[in-house]
A and B are shown apart, each in its own frame.
Chain A
């Protein structure tokens, strides 16, 4: 066992002399000298200065990592951009999911509030006197909803379903700040949103019709071909919609940032073509033998 403290407690855990810490402001985040002076590894080491150290280290390791690529012909920038694409796409899905969650629970809470307001009005403000079982029912409803809302808040569900989705971009950006990337919102015009909605509706209808035609045993008809072409034309729009990742202007040159934008757009263009091809292949009715 190495080292001991003043009170002869064995030194079990590392001290936090050199690392930046999150301490509460009331305590000033100061460590007691006794605690800081434990005879362990990090004592006396200069504090983490951030970028310069990483810069130096990075240069050597980037060369090492480029050797690990599966093909030496593939440029490291493609690997980085490809992984950024995966990251961006997943963040887009998360953002969409969080927004859906927020809407879902907004509607749920609005519904509850509406019913509660109606019960309250009926009980205490309506000119017609409410009596009997109806009155008891309304009172029960009012109490039930109040308790539900209080529990919803206390259990942390309100924070999970309403507060955090609203702060999703902020939270994600705080986590990614050290990697010099930022998630930004992409605004789309009402025309694009409208077209997307119509596309998804028409696609659903087309798929349903195609399924029906296959069930009916008429997959070779021109009607099937029509719905098939419609389903291909109504494939969802791909690319940098909703949210996108941008590289930090302070850390990356304009060429790299522009290269990233070009890479992303080109990839999604190719992906759209690929999905259309796959869709047309999937839509091809099975041949009868």
Chain B
């Protein structure tokens, strides 16, 4: 009996047990003296209590230690760099806010408008949204004074440009830009200039017939390397047109052949008759006029001309991309090199802003 009471006293009372359960245990302890002759039953009760306690620990502490705590730790470790960066950003923010606040003074109205509508679309650079760079004491003048004020667009690419179906017009030259050709009679006499020298390029014979004289001539035509790829890809981004200083009788069969083999459709064709002849200079391509003839709304900012001859685009230097003339170099890859830039230029608001940069600092005159 004493032994039992000693055992019951020496065992620590489980704190986690609910009060009701504890009462039950006490009642059982009290019941033991009455029963008197059943120490084994009492030991069994003790074991059961220990089991319950162990189960309790299992339920509460084990998941905490094995699942919740490790997950929290792993989460902390994973997001530690983020937290670190965020702390740094927050520390830097007050400093940078001074610079930004100068420009945001005029944007209170914009903020108000932004609250009213869910999607604010501001199409263009707004004169009110400008910044003034803080003066650097080491420099005599601030940059904005030198360059003029900076105006920022609300969106990178104007929504109108993304949503509208109209594309920029890419005007390509034919001879020595996309192809090279020479009459059959010439090539037989002089092989040094023969396009057949270009081993990898495909030679095609084009028959040119003149309705007036009824004379027909055969031309050997070779495509510039990457011509097919160039035309196929650019026709996905631009409306492609051909503007050649050659005559219609010659150009039409060649353009037809290009259309067939490259599986592209040229939107427009312009020939020598559409060029302006400048005495002593040559044929100049007035792309502004010819483009306006087909579409009045098409501005010069939406035109790009690619030509090998600077005389051809002398009237529109800011809209031109210069390529080297090609005769028979099989390793030429100039058309390939133009593709990334042409793809990137399809969304610019004014192509002249980019193409005029070939003039260097002179293009940025305030």
- Beta-carbon contacts under 8 Å, B73-108 to A: 78-79, 81-82, 85-86, 96, 100
The segment from B22-30, B41-49, B336-344 found at the interface with A is: B336-344
Report Cα–Cα, A74/B148, bound state, in Å: 9
Number of A-B contacts (CB under 8 A): 329
Given the complex of chains A and B, what is the CA–CA distance between A164 and B337 in angstroms? 10
Structural contact, A19 and B326, CB atoms closer than 8 A: no
- Whether the pair B148, A61 counts as a contact (CB closer than 8 A) is no
Across the interface, name the chain B residue whose C-beta is closest to A177. B337
> Which stretch of A7-15, A105-113, A118-126, A131-139 is in the interface?
A7-15
At the interface, yes or no: A23 with Cβ under 8 Å from chain B? yes
B329 near A59 (CB under 8 angstroms)?
Answer: no
Residues in B with CB closer than 8 Å to A27 are 192-193, 197, 327-328
Residues of A within 8 A of B342 (CB): 175
Q: Can you list, as one digit per residue, whether each of A246-271 has a CB less than 8 Å from chain B (1) or not (0)?
A: 01101111011011001100110111
Interface residues of B in 156-176 (CB under 8 A from A): 156-157, 174-176
Q: When chains A and B are docked, how far (Å) is the Cα of A151 from the Cα of B143? A: 57
Q: Is the CB of B354 within 8 A of A266?
A: no
Interface 1/0s, chain A 159-199, versus B by CB < 8 A?
Answer: 00000100010011011101111000000000100110011
Verify B330–A19 contact, CB threshold 8 A.
Answer: no
> CA–CA, A134 to B100, complex, Å?
70
- Contact partner of B325 among A5, A21, A61, CB < 8 A? A21
User: Which residues of A lie under 8 Å from residue B300 when comparing CB positions?
Assistant: 68
The CB with the most chain A CB atoms within 10 A, among B125, B314, B318, is that of B125
Binds B, one of A47-55, A210-218, A219-227: A47-55
Residues of B within 8 A of A288 (CB): none
Select which of B183, B328, B348 is within 8 A of A24 by beta carbon.
Answer: B328
Are A41 and B282 within 8 A (Cβ)? yes
B337 near A174 (CB under 8 angstroms)? Answer: yes
Q: A191 near B81 (CB under 8 angstroms)?
A: yes
On chain A, the residues within 8 Å of B360 by CB distance are 51, 55, 180, 248, 250-252
Interface of A is mostly: helix
Cβ-closest chain B residue relative to A8: B215
Contact check, B281 vs A41: say whether CB atoms are below 8 A apart. yes
Question: Count of A residues near B, CB < 8 Å?
Answer: 106
Task: Tell me if B's interface is mostly helix, strand, loop or mixed.
Answer: mixed
Contact B325 A22 (CB under 8 A): yes
Which of B190, B282, B360 has most A Cβ within 10 Å?
A: B360
B311 pairs with A172, CB closer than 8 A: no
Known: A21-B324, A179-B354. A45 touches B311 (CB 8 A): yes
The answer, yes or no, to whether B256 is at the interface (CB within 8 Å) is: no
Contact (Cβ within 8 A) B310 A271: no
Is A85 interfacial (CB-CB < 8 Å)?
yes
In the complex the two chains form, is A40's CB within 8 Å of B282's CB? yes
Contact yes or no, B127 A58, CB < 8 A: no
Does A149 touch B at the CB level, under 8 Å? Answer: no
- At the interface, yes or no: B32 with Cβ under 8 Å from chain A? no
Chain A positions within 8 Å of B366 at CB level: 75-77
Q: Is B157 touching A86 in the complex (CB atoms < 8 A)?
A: yes
Any chain A CB within 8 A of the CB of B255? no
Contact A80 B353 (CB under 8 A): yes
A255 touches B82 (CB 8 A): no
Q: How far is the CB of A180 from chain B (nearest CB, A)?
A: 5
Q: Mark B229-269, 1 if CB is under 8 A from A, else 0.
A: 00000000000000011110111000000000000000000
* Residue B60 at the chain A interface, CB threshold 8 Å: no
Question: B290: CB under 8 A from chain A?
Answer: no
Q: Which residues of A contact B282 (CB under 8 A)?
A: 14, 40-42, 45
How far, in angstroms, from A1 to B286 measured CA to CA in the complex?
22
Residues of A within 8 A of B280 (CB): 45
**Assuming A1-B210, A19-B308, is B175 touching A58 (CB within 8 A)?**
no
Q: In whole angstroms, how far apart are the Cα atoms of A83 and B365 in the complex? A: 16
Interface membership of B301, Cβ < 8 A: yes
**A–B complex contacts, Cβ < 8 Å, 7 sampled:** A45-B281, A48-B309, A55-B362, A65-B352, A80-B363, A172-B340, A175-B337
**Leading 3 A-B pairs by shortest Cβ distance:** A41-B282, A251-B360, A12-B250
Taking A1-B213, A13-B244, A83-B349 as known contacts, 9 extra A-B pairs with beta carbons closer than 8 A to each other, sorted by chain A number, are: A1-B210, A11-B247, A16-B327, A27-B193, A62-B356, A68-B299, A71-B125, A83-B354, A259-B146
- Give B contacts to A, CB under 8 Å: 78-79, 81-82, 85-86, 96, 100, 114, 118-119, 124-125, 127, 131, 133, 143-144, 146-154, 156-157, 174-176, 181-183, 185-186, 189-190, 192-193, 197-198, 208, 210, 212-213, 215, 217, 244-247, 249-251, 277, 280-283, 299-301, 308-311, 314, 317-318, 321-322, 324-334, 336-350, 352-366
